[in-house]
């Protein structure tokens, strides 16, 4: 019998599960939530989860294929998150999968939770390198419980980014934070019980661990 899984970290063959898992475990330990983290490819575990984290590293279409390749996973995710309102956090391509579609190497359907397309970053200054790689500050568009207690802005803590595409949300209200790289790049989106970070909290030291601890106690 599978034990109950308070926090499900979805394993679909993508993402740096080790990093995300370790960071979540530490956030759980230090944030005092004491929640157990379970890396899982089992849709039943996802259905029962108290909250769900979807990592993602690599190409959009590959990640979508990987998610579809786990029988029943998209259905379980949709049921838990969209119907039963379980708190959800997507990281990097995990955020991008929340979009209507991804336009990296052709067109791939996303989960359609946040209306918008995932498009190539086109900095106004052509000398800027792509991927957008490294530490950048967050410009918060609207306060969000996941950012509670975290100093942001140019003099705040930085987050670690590594990506060439970003989600262009159809509704500005879905954007929680942006970062500046030859223009505004979507750094964080969310609505109701769903949220996503384009940066990697599991690699963003203090900012990231604080954000993950906030996610573990988030009660949308």
Which residues participate in catalysis according to the annotation? 92, 200, 202
DSSP 89-121: EEETHHHHTTEEEE-TTS-EE---SEEEEEEE-
Residue 202 has phi, psi (to 5 degrees) of: -70, -10
List Cα–Cα distances, 175 to 39, 42, 104, 167, 172, in angstroms.
28, 31, 21, 9, 6
Which member of 207, 211, 213, 216 binds other proteins (CB under 8 A)?
A: 207
Q: Is 11 in the site for other proteins (CB under 8 A)?
A: no
- Minimum CB distance to other proteins smaller for 86 or for 215: 215
Q: Is 208 in the site for other proteins (CB under 8 A)?
A: yes
Q: Is 166 in the site for other proteins (CB under 8 A)?
A: no
Which member of 181, 193, 198, 215 binds other proteins (CB under 8 A)?
A: 181
Q: Is 164 in the site for other proteins (CB under 8 A)?
A: yes
Which member of 111, 140, 209, 213 binds other proteins (CB under 8 A)?
A: 209
The helix/strand/coil state of 220 is: coil
The β-bridge relationship of strands 88-91 and 51-54 is: parallel
Q: Is 142 in the site for other proteins (CB under 8 A)?
A: no
Q: Is 102 in the site for other proteins (CB under 8 A)?
A: no
Q: Is 85 in the site for other proteins (CB under 8 A)?
A: no
| Binding mask of the shown chain, residues 37 to 76, with x at each position contacting other proteins by CB under 8 A | --------------------xxx--x--------------
List Cα–Cα distances, 24 to 37, 72, 169, 220, in angstroms.
7, 25, 27, 19
As a whole number of angstroms, the distance between CA 109 and CA 103 comes to 9
8 A C-beta contact, residue 110 and residue 95: no
Q: Is 100 in the site for other proteins (CB under 8 A)?
A: no
As a whole number of angstroms, the distance between CA 29 and CA 197 comes to 22
Give the residues lining the site for other proteins (CB under 8 A): 16, 18-19, 22-23, 26, 57-59, 62, 129-137, 154, 157-158, 160, 162-164, 180-181, 200, 202-209
């Amino acid at each position: 019998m599978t034990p109950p899984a308070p926090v499900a970290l979805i394993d679909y063959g993508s993402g740096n599960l080790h990093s995300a898992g370790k960071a979540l475990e530490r956030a759980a330990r230090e944030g005092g939530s004491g929640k157990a983290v379970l890396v899982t490819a089992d849709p039943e575990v996802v259905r029962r989860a108290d909250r769900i984290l979807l990592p993602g590293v690599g190409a959009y279409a590959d990640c979508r294929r990987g998610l579809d390749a786990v029988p029943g996973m998209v259905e379980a995710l949709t049921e838990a998150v969209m119907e039963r309102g379980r708190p959800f956090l997507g990281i990097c391509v995990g955020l991008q999968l929340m979009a209507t579609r991804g336009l990296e190497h052709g067109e791939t359907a996303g989960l359609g939770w946040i209306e918008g397309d995932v498009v190539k970053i086109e900095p106004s200054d052509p000398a800027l390198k792509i991927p957008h790689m490294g530490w950048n500050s967050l410009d918060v568009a609207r306060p969000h419980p996941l950012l509670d207690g975290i100093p942001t802005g140019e003099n705040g803590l930085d987050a670690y980014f590594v990506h060439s595409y970003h989600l262009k949300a159809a509704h500005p209200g879905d954007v929680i934070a942006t970062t500046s790289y030859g223009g505004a790049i979507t750094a964080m989106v969310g609505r109701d019980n769903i949220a996503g970070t384009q940066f990697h909290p599991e690699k963003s030291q203090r900012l990231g661990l604080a954000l993950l601890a906030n996610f573990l106690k988030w009660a949308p």
